[in-house]
Every structure is written in C-alpha cells, then in structure tokens.
Amino acid sequence: MDKVSIDGRKLGVNFNSVGKAEVLIWAPRAEKATIRIREDQDIELGKLDYGYWQLTTDEIHPGSRYRVILDDQEWPDIASLNQPDIHGPSFAFDLREFQWTDQQWQNIPLEDYIIYELHTGTFSPDGTFEGLSDKLDHLISLGITAIELMPVAQYPGNRNWGYDGVFPFAVQESYGGAAGLQKLVDTCHQKGLAVILDVVYNHIGPEGNYFEKYGPFFTDKYHTPWGNAINFDDAGCYGVRRFFTENALMWLRDFHIDALRMDAVHAIKDFSTKHILQEIKEYTEQLIKKNGRRHYLIVECDLNDPRFINPLSKAGFGMDAQWTDEFHHALRIASGGKKEGYYSDFNGIGDLAEAFNHGYVYYGRYSAQRDKLFGADPEENPGKQFVVFSQNHDQVGNRILGERSSRLFSFEVQKLMAATVLISPFLPMLFMGEEYCELNPFLYFVSHTDPELISAVRDGRRKEFAAFHSEGEAPDPQAEDTFNASKLNWTLLKQPPHKLMLNYYSALIALRKTKPALRTLDRQQCRATVDEESHVLIVRRRYEDDVVTCLLNFSNETRTVFLADHHNCRLIFNSIDWQWNGPIYTTAIIPDGPHFTLQPQSILILEQYV
C-alpha cells in the first residue's frame, strides 16, 4: 500500500516537474474509473492495489475542468483543489505556480503566539483574503503575532462559518481561492505574522457531500452530533486516514501554514492502535525534518485528557496545544455571566483560580452536570499548551442573538476580562473585534442551496433556542442580512470608547511581551489564590528575579487586599487609570502596602524591584 507522501500532494489531480497531470483517486468500490475532461473525451485510469486508480496524462492542464466517472456515475473530485460549484465540475490547479517570497521566514516559538481568531468573510468589508491583508497592519500595531483563520475549505454558496466544508482540499472561491490563500500567507510572513488554519476532521458538511460515492468514508459504529462518524478505524479506513493526513500535510507544505487548529477532536472516534492524531503528528514531524520549518498542531478538545497534548514519547498523541474552554467558562461566571446551560457547572472566581493553577477546571473533580468525576490533571504540561480567551466564534455565535461581550458586560468588566486572559501563563487568543469593543453581533449564517436543508437548519435553530424567546427570535441563518450584520464595523475605531479600548489592549499586550514574568509561560512559577467572599483573585507570576503580582477585583465594591511581601513593590498597570477612562491618575505610584485598595471590577499589576 502506498504511504502518505511527504514530498508533495498525490491525491486528486496534481502536476509533476515536466508539467504532466498525475491523477490518483481512491475508490475501492468501483469496477472502473475514468476522468472526463470534455463531454466527448474520457480517459481511463489504471487500477492499483487497495482501491486506488492512477493516470499520468498531458491532456489535463491547470484550469482544466474535469469530472470523475466511477462505474458510469459522474461526480466532482472530493480531493479537488478548486471547486467553485460544489455540485459542478472540478478544476485542476497547480500548487507550484505561486512564487513564494518567504524563504527566510521562521515560525515563531509557540510560547510567543498571541492569537487573533477571525472569519475571512466578515473580517473586512469585501470578505476576501485580499481585504484581510489590508487590515494586517492593524493587527501588528495591536501586538498580535499569529492570526487564526476559521475554516476556508470549500462550502456551499458564499456565506458560512466554514464548518460545513465538503471539499477539504479546495479553498473557498469567494475568499480568493487557493492562490489567494497562498498570497495571504506569504504577506503575513513578510510582516512577521504566523498563520493558523482551522481544519475540520470530525465531520463533512451535509450539502455537496459526495464522499460515500467514493468509498467507506463513514462508519455507523459511532455517532457524532453530525451523524455517522468519519471512518478512522473500521473496515476500509486506510484510504480515509491517508486522505486526511495528506490534507494536513498539504496545508503545512504547499500553503506554508504555520499551525493547524483541529476542530472538536473529541468527536473523532478512533480506537486504532495508532490514533489518527498521532499519525498526523508523526508525518508532520517528518515534514519538519525535511523542510526545516516548524509547524504546530493545536486541537479543540473538551475531554480534559492530557493524553491529547502529551508528547509521543510519553504515549500521548503529541498535539502541541489545545483550546481551553473551561478557562472561558469560569471567567464568564466570575465576571457576572449567567449560570445556565454548560455554564451551570462553573462557580466563578474559585474555578477561575483552578484554571490558572491546573490548566483545567475539572481535573478529576466531580462534575454535577456530568454526574461523574471528570478529567485528569495536566500537571506536567507547560502553559504554552493551553489556549485561553474571553470570547471566540463558538461562544459568541452560538448565542441566539450572537452578542459579543461589548453587549453583555460593562466597559470595566470587559477591561478586567481582557487583562485576565493576557496575564495568564497560557497562550492568549482574541476574537476579531473584541480589541475595540465591536458592537455588531457574530451570528450563525449559511448559504445552502437545498430547500429542505435550508428549512431544517432554520427549524433546528428555532428549536435550539426555544427556551430563549424572551431574548428575541433567532435570526434566519440563510438570510444574507444575517451575514451582513456580522461584519466588523471598522468605523468604530475612530470613536473614543472604541479607540480607548484598542489602546488598552495594545498596552496590555506590550506589557506581556516586555515583562519576563508575564512572557515566560512557566506554570510552576504561577500561583493563583482567591478570596471568594470578597471576589478577589491574586495571581503571582515569577521568572528568575522578575516577580509580578496581579490583583483582580471581580466584585462590584471596593476591596482591600493585604500583601505580606509588599516591600520594594511598585504599580505598573491599573485598569482604572485615567488613560483607560478611570477616575484617577496612577502612573508610577508606589503603593502604600501592605494594604492595597482595589476599585470595583478592576486589576492592579505590581512588580517587585531591587
């Protein structure tokens, strides 16, 4: 059986060094396979072992339209690189044509990632990679070091979050296609920005899903929120595993993506002796050795299982980092959010301290919502393996009205939440627009073409929020107005409250970068303690001789905090300073310890000096 290729993409249609098209299709159920490049011209493929079909031809050129014919049935190529119409012909594309200028680029260390998650279609007015490029200088000025693109694999129509992708190798045409993505990444590297790409290996979208026409891509052994699971361990899974492993390698190798964020890997069902994530990691390591570039693998996982982020040498899956939703949940409740739904298992500031100290909130503790002991303690995993945030696309977009924190919390609480993320010993992530209090919502939107599916999606959203009618009617996901309402309003940057918040975020990020105790993600040198009665959190960070103490008051009242080791201590940041719309001028004030007065919903950051 052919192994996954490190050197170049093999599946689908590709072009070799002399310009000939090399075609490789996996269709183990077919008795015959051909490529149709014109209505009157079919080219037969030769049969290989294990269900693969192969062809080398000079009849296919970059830009050529083609269809795959399996036993006289005509389908798009599920490994297509260019698929503008998910039901129409595929188009050949040569990945080697783009002229890269990032030869000197070296991916930045993972611990230096300050991530900015964005949706290409709503981030800029025209919703394209080119429009995104025009805004990169804003992100650099803010202090961002890595952008994270929500999925760009081809989906139905031109409006979608991206998690309904049905052609994993094709780049969304309305964004600018494969060439547009290559240009964007090249531009980011020129400007010193790393690029993370969100990929979906736990399901395939419903409309335009032709995978079962090719082979056993799904199994009824397991069920997921999206139906039958992708077949990573049942009969015939070898071709499925290769398909997704080659997909991961393509993004890293051919698009120069610096890191992949893998969506909801807890929904990947795989009891093979080698988990698919481990396999992707091993091939990624081979690619790193070959091309000399560092790549990271980040996962979304809600199992609180360190095995996902433990190294291969310790029987882990080797993922470099994971999203940590529990930090978000605890932070929201500590900040006054409602304890409902999955938030009901969180108790606010005490659990926030647990997240600081353990990475997870539930690390073997009893979970009332699950009615069992849940999670394991990732005590040996460094801070750089946890991505934390106060907002993300899910937590905003899965609300009935898609409200951001700017609509749910006061200006002071928003500042406190931002500071909590940025003083943590973890990788901080911002969701697009939060840095200037974007007011527009981020709603759930689609642009399906199947009337029955459109109706099902609408009904599903109504039922999901049936208990929340007092908050309003769920916006129609199919309506273009829903999509347009979710676009960022860049004119807000010129208005005082929003410009002030942008400056606040920039100052916090700059402080994180310049203070060794904040920049160094050593969880062993971070300790959070809490006074639950006063609703105050104290976070102590240390690196060598640099010591920083952060006092966070989540209450609505003034609090006094006693610090025994207050000597040689000075204030370096105060969220209620006049420059952040606060009532007092506090720059360079030397506090009168050991008692420190905290204004409501505020943070003081102190440093010890010699």
Q: State the Cα–Cα distance between residues 371 and 59, nearest whole angstrom.
A: 62
Query: From the first residue on, what is the mean pLDDT of each consecutive set of 10 residues in the chain (610 residues)?
Result: 83 96 98 92 96 96 97 97 97 97 97 98 98 98 98 97 97 98 98 98 97 97 90 97 98 98 97 97 98 97 97 96 98 95 92 98 96 96 98 95 96 98 98 98 96 90 66 88 98 95 98 98 96 94 95 95 81 93 60 81 89
The annotation status of 397 as a binding-site residue, yes or no, is yes
Q: State the Cα–Cα distance between residues 512 and 565, nearest whole angstrom.
A: 23
The annotation status of 474 as a binding-site residue, yes or no, is no
- The pLDDT, as a whole number, for residue 588 is 43
What's the CATH code of the domain at 591?
2.60.40.1180
- The pLDDT, as a whole number, for residue 473 is 81
Domain that holds residue 52: 12-91
What's the CATH code of the domain at 256?
3.20.20.80
Beta strands in 40-150 (DSSP E): 41-44, 46-47, 52-57, 65-70, 73-75, 90-91, 115-118, 146-149
429 shares its domain with 399: yes
Cβ atoms of 68 and 74 closer than 8 Å: yes
What's the CATH code of the domain at 60?
2.60.40.10
Cβ atoms of 179 and 62 closer than 8 Å: no
Q: State the Cα–Cα distance between residues 265 and 199, nearest whole angstrom.
A: 10
374 shares its domain with 243: yes
Q: What predicted TM-score, i.e. pTM, was given to this entire model? A: 0.97
At 463, is the secondary structure helix, strand, or coil?
helix
459 shares its domain with 520: no
Residue 113, token pair as written in the block: 């990632």
Kindly state whether residue 590 falls inside one of the protein's structural domains: yes
302 shares its domain with 346: yes
The annotation status of 398 as a binding-site residue, yes or no, is yes
Cβ atoms of 262 and 300 closer than 8 Å: yes
**Taking the CB of residue 365, how many other CB atoms lie within 10 A of it?**
16
Kindly state whether residue 96 falls inside one of the protein's structural domains: no
The annotation status of 329 as a binding-site residue, yes or no, is yes
Domain limit, last residue, from 489, 524, 539: 489
151 shares its domain with 261: yes
133 shares its domain with 259: yes
Q: State the Cα–Cα distance between residues 234 and 240, nearest whole angstrom.
A: 10
Residue 220, token pair as written in the block: 């009824």
Dihedral class, residue 207 (left if φ above 0, else alpha if ψ from -120 to 50, else beta): beta
The annotation status of 326 as a binding-site residue, yes or no, is yes
The annotation status of 170 as a binding-site residue, yes or no, is no
The annotation status of 347 as a binding-site residue, yes or no, is no
Q: State the Cα–Cα distance between residues 505 and 444, nearest whole angstrom.
A: 27
Domain limit, last residue, from 437, 463, 489: 489
- The pLDDT, as a whole number, for residue 538 is 97
Strands 427-431 and 115-118, by their bridges, are parallel
31 shares its domain with 150: no
46 shares its domain with 173: no
- The pLDDT, as a whole number, for residue 78 is 98
387 shares its domain with 356: yes
119 CB-side CA count, 13 A: 25
Rounded to 10°, the helix 325-334/349-358 angle is 150
The annotation status of 264 as a binding-site residue, yes or no, is yes
DSSP secondary structure of 132-166? HHTTHHHHHHHT--EEEEPP-EE-STT---STT-S
- The pLDDT, as a whole number, for residue 610 is 61
The annotation status of 345 as a binding-site residue, yes or no, is no
50 shares its domain with 182: no
From the number of C-beta atoms within 10 Å of its C-beta (0-12, 13-18, 19+), residue 30 rates as: buried
454 shares its domain with 567: no
Kindly state whether residue 63 falls inside one of the protein's structural domains: yes
Kindly state whether residue 543 falls inside one of the protein's structural domains: yes
**Tokens 């290409």 appear where?**
120
At 566, is the secondary structure helix, strand, or coil?
coil
Kindly state whether residue 591 falls inside one of the protein's structural domains: yes
Cβ atoms of 107 and 129 closer than 8 Å: no
Kindly state whether residue 583 falls inside one of the protein's structural domains: yes
Domain limit, last residue, from 454, 489, 524: 489
Count of domains forming the chain: 3
Beta bridge partners of 33: 70
**Tokens 């094709």 appear where?**
170
Kindly state whether residue 378 falls inside one of the protein's structural domains: yes
Catalytic residues: 263, 300
481 shares its domain with 573: no
